[in-house]
Structure 1
Amino acid sequence: MLIEISVLLAFGCLSGVTTVLFGFGGGFVTVPVVYAFALADPENAPSAMHVAVATSTAVMVVNAGSATVAQLRTGRLRRDYLWPLIAFIGLGAVLGSLAATMADEGVLRWLFVAYLALTIADSVARKGFVSMRDDGRPRALGGFTTSAGGTGIGAVASFLGVGGSVLTVPLMRRKGLPMADAAALANPLSLPVAVIGTAVYAFAATGPAPGAAHLGYIDLVAAGALLCGSLPAIAVTRRVVGRIPDRAHAIAYLALLVIALVAIVVR
């Protein structure tokens, strides 16, 4: 148990760093490590991926909320990119969370893998992510992107427990925003996914055996250890936001997605 807690604390620190720098909220860091530990536990193994996704959403509530507060003073949270997109993301999150509680374990795991792989390939193949648009002028979100796109982002993100930053960050990049601004916006946009997903998973009808340290599918011990590592990391990392060159920031984002993909596939 001591080794497990130590590993979770370390990954919690990493999730705090990625929350501020990339808007991940912890999902791509926490899902693979919680999945690995749940799979090794006979009690949790039958629902390992559900436990990983649920625990990730619970951690994201606190991480994304803390990062949002930290970013408020920077002026990076632009209202025109937040509203009404955040409302449609919340609507999609309800649908995705309910669907995830009924999904097969194998389906959930491989959809997570496919989601990562497609995102990486799209970001590398299409212009506008690694390097900003030539004119450097941000473009407004269209009505269809806000409504249909927002609902889709919420549904996919809550279904997979990843917060939505892997969709919102590329979206904001292609609208011409700097990487630091795109990552900052990803945190408040992840909050409805995290809150709604946590509520659904916490009161799921089926989950780990009664008596375990769980609330529905949420592993409370793992969530607590991850947060003990992430919150101090968020406080420290917010001081360096904006100092990283834009292109290097974007490449680092993609590199972390590749690491998460390898981790979940190998496991």
Structure 2
Amino acid sequence: MLIGVGLLTGVTTVLFGFGGGFVAVPVVVWADAALGADVMRVATATSALVMVVNAGFATAVTPRRVLLSLRGSGMLLLLLATGASAGALATRLAPAALAHWAFVAYVALTIADLLLRPGFLRPSTHAGTASDAPRPLPSALGAPIGAVAAFLGVGGSVMTVPAMRRAGHTMSAATALANPLTLAIALPATAVSLCVAAVPAATQAQVRLVGLIDLRAAAALLLGALPVIAVLRRCPQRIPDRIHAWAYIGLLFKVTVAMLFPV
């Protein structure tokens, strides 16, 4: 089952910029349900490792001309990493149920925002003209995006893709650029998760953890995802921009349902 879901994470990494977080968190919650209240901590930590590999691989095979859009974003990347470190620590210290319901609430609010506020489905600017060239993301957004993304285990793409979309990027460009931004968040979050002691319930539930990470679940997800990323990155995307945007919202809705009814 995890390998099969890994195939889906490969698709979401390429098409939506989700390095696996939004898909990985619900499925690890399901797979490690025996951990009880601590399962969300393990799911977010495992998701971070999956995103490091998926987002790193996707970034490596992204055309350099696309990545040049992030030129001059060094401060943004640094603040994303700083916020992610704080968010990963907060996951370990916060009440176990908080991250679960915060995940559901955040995705639900994001769906409402994308549907009701102009700029995502109906972008007000169009990339490609001199007057309406895409704008860079403000560096000040780095720390809050990194903290929330690491705390929820989502990688940041649910915040960076809409922000870049409203800054004038097409969906294909926004989702491609989400991967290097996700990598900046997932690397420190993974490092923190590896250094934190495993949850006590792991021994009783017979779930082998390294820090807070379920390496077996992560390996299965990556086994399915990496070949898909390699294949899809070689195929040019011909999805109409508006359909691409609606598909993004549809995926968020399905993830919300999966977290509300995990079994």
TM-score by length of structure 2 reads 0.91
Flag structure 1 segments of 5+ consecutive residues without an equivalent. 1-6
Counterpart residue type for residue 85 of structure 1: L
Flag structure 2 segments of 5+ consecutive residues without an equivalent. none
Residues 82, 181 of structure 1: CA spacing in aligned structure 2 closer, same or farther, 3 A cutoff? Answer: farther
Pick one of 88, 94, 110 that aligns with 1:103: 94
Pick one of 235, 247, 250 that aligns with 2:242: 247
Pick one of 211, 219, 222 that aligns with 1:216: 211
Q: How does 1:6-25 map to 2 (within 5 A)?
A: 7-25=1-19
Structure 1: distance between partners of 2:52 and 2:193:
13
Q: How does 1:219-234 map to 2 (within 5 A)?
A: 219-234=214-229
Would the aligned equivalents of 2:11 and 2:232 in 1 still touch at CA under 8 Å? yes
Would the aligned equivalents of 1:76 and 1:181 in 2 still touch at CA under 8 Å? no
Would the aligned equivalents of 2:73 and 2:139 in 1 still touch at CA under 8 Å? no
Structure 2: distance between partners of 1:26 and 1:185:
15
**Secondary structure of 2:203's partner?**
coil
Would the aligned equivalents of 2:13 and 2:179 in 1 still touch at CA under 8 Å? yes
Q: 1:33 maps to which residue?
A: 27
Shift of 1:134: 4.5
Q: 2:175 maps to which residue?
A: 183
Q: How does 1:65-144 map to 2 (within 5 A)?
A: 65-73=56-64, 75-80=66-71, 82-136=73-127, 137-141=132-136
Pick one of 144, 155, 171 that aligns with 1:152: 144
Structure 2: distance between partners of 1:80 and 1:130:
26
**Secondary structure of 1:162's partner?**
coil
Shift of 1:23: 0.6
Residues 80, 38 of structure 1: CA spacing in aligned structure 2 closer, same or farther, 3 A cutoff? Answer: same
Structure 2: distance between partners of 1:101 and 1:224:
22
Q: 1:53 maps to which residue?
A: 44
Superposition CA RMSD, Å: 1.7
Would the aligned equivalents of 2:6 and 2:222 in 1 still touch at CA under 8 Å? yes
Cα deviation digits, residues 25-56 of structure 1 (max 9, x gap):
001111001101111x2xx2241111111110
Q: 1:167 maps to which residue?
A: 159
Q: State the identity %.
A: 49
Residues 250, 30 of structure 1: CA spacing in aligned structure 2 closer, same or farther, 3 A cutoff? Answer: same
Q: 2:231 maps to which residue?
A: 236
Cα deviation digits, residues 183-227 of structure 1 (max 9, x gap):
011000011211111111111134233984210111111001000
